[in-house]
Structure 1
Amino acid sequence: MANTHFKPALIIVDVQADFCPPNGTLAVPNALAIIPTINHLLTLPFPLKIATKDWHPHNHTSFASTHPGTSPFVSTTTITTPVGSYETKLWPDHCIQGTPGAALLPSLSIANIDQVVEKGQRQDIEMYSAFFDPHKCVDSGLKDVLERGGVTDVFVVGLAFDYCVRATAVDAAAEGFRTWVVGEGTKAVDAGAWDEVVGDLKEKGVRVVSVHGEEVARVGVGK
């Protein structure tokens, strides 16, 4: 018999000032358009509502400024861990710990959020996923939070669809949670990559659904 137990969590990925216009240093196009959808989801009876934050040291390895002679959006750097190495794109300085740019967007219904998970705190590791870095050298503790809460399903929204939302959803599915991305609740750095990301997520067991669809409606029903 199929497992019909349903205890959903909402994960709001990196809805921070630096990722939003008009003043964000790494603003995602049209990012503010997702706020009404996320605030609506925050009114639904999710047993667990978690926001994540990029929380970088000032000299984080993902910053082009940390690597003289490089350019944001164009250059890359190699991250080396005990497990191996991987290439990552370099970005403008963003979401530096304790700065206004790292704060959750004030228009977000922050009072309805149960917990905030901070990621990307280690200087030498790039971490798009809210769970782990690609080699699982750093664990944010998010998996443990979900497991302690008895969560079965994860609904992911936030910024950006083609980077941190994507990586978070993929890891959630890989860790055994039924995983959904709510399409109206996310925007991409590269809007032209949307269909490619949807296809990649589907291959990894993640579906992109509508805020008006049956998956979200089930949250209100609670089973």
Structure 2
Amino acid sequence: MRPALIVVDMQEDFCPPNGSLAVQGARALAPTINKLLANPSFVVRVATRDYHPSDHISFASNHPPPNNRPFESYVELMNPAPNKQNETKSQRLWPAHCVHGTPGVEMIPEIDSSKIDLYVKKGMNSQVEMYSAFCDVFGNPDSTGGEESVDLDLRSFLTDKKVTDVFVVGVAGDYCVKQTVIDAVRAGFKGYFVEDATRCTDPGEACWAETKKELIAAGVSIVRSDGPEIATLVGS
């Protein structure tokens, strides 16, 4: 077993008190995440960052009224891959967040960044959403083959490190964390969602119940940072 840890989007814009898309309780995750980062069993520790251009299609402010209300309005995305433009998905609109060149894109200082081996930027293509660290919402690993969506082929990186198991933490549990761990399973790794090291955009029980259902259906194991799955890790 060669486990990796992926810390998803622990950035200023996703954390209270000033984040433009703050997730309730996100900043308070830092001690739990730092304890995991310090675990010597992980053979590699990756941190992801949303890294959007200012004209990103998911920003409500980039669309005309009346259908430009953050959290409420939706637009249709077109698959950017060649010969797949007829494939579309409905995209929820968000407040502008994690725009490169702004303070909101930075990792919060509470996270012990000295333990992180690799940073992955995602969401760099203005025309498509990318929740997962592995691919965009259409499943394209790099959205048209350029460096416009993600700046690294994470699957290849983990494979080169002979990683077998991927543990995922951070925010938001019902979007980027969920999709990253599901795509880790799809990429051939064993995936683990660390429940007490994540927070969802919607803190309600109904949201978590639906997220949990999706994770289980995808073959993801839901664990805790103090559970046996992590306590018995063996790195090599």
Shift of 1:200: 1.3
- Which residue among 171, 174, 181 is the counterpart of 1:162? 174
Task: Give SS of 2:72's match.
Answer: coil
- Mark the runs of 5 or more structure 1 residues left unpaired by the alignment: 1-5
> Which residue matches 2:211?
197
Letter in 2 for 1:133: D
Distance 1:99 1:79 in 2: 25
Task: Give SS of 2:45's match.
Answer: strand
Aligned residues: 217
- Which residue among 38, 57, 60 is the counterpart of 2:33? 38
Is this contact kept in 2: 1:198–1:207, CA < 8 A? no
- Which residue among 19, 22, 29 is the counterpart of 2:24? 29
- Mark the runs of 5 or more structure 2 residues left unpaired by the alignment: 143-149
Letter in 1 for 2:212: V
- Which residue among 163, 178, 181 is the counterpart of 2:190? 178
> Which residue matches 1:211?
225
Is this contact kept in 2: 1:169–1:180, CA < 8 A? yes
Letter in 1 for 2:235: G
Distance 2:105 2:232 in 1: 33
Distance 2:235 2:126 in 1: 41
> Which residue matches 2:147?
none
Across the aligned residues of Structure 1 and Structure 2, the Cα RMSD in angstroms comes to 1.1
TM-score of the two chains, using structure 2 as the length reference: 0.89
Structure with the higher helix share, 1 or 2: 1
> Which residue matches 1:108?
111
> Which residue matches 2:127?
124
After TM superposition, the runs of 4+ consecutive aligned structure 1 residues lying more than 3 A away are: none
Distance 2:130 2:160 in 1: 23
Question: Between the two proteins, what is the percent identity of the paired residues?
Answer: 46
TM-score of the two chains, using structure 1 as the length reference: 0.94
Letter in 2 for 1:62: S
> Which residue matches 1:3?
none
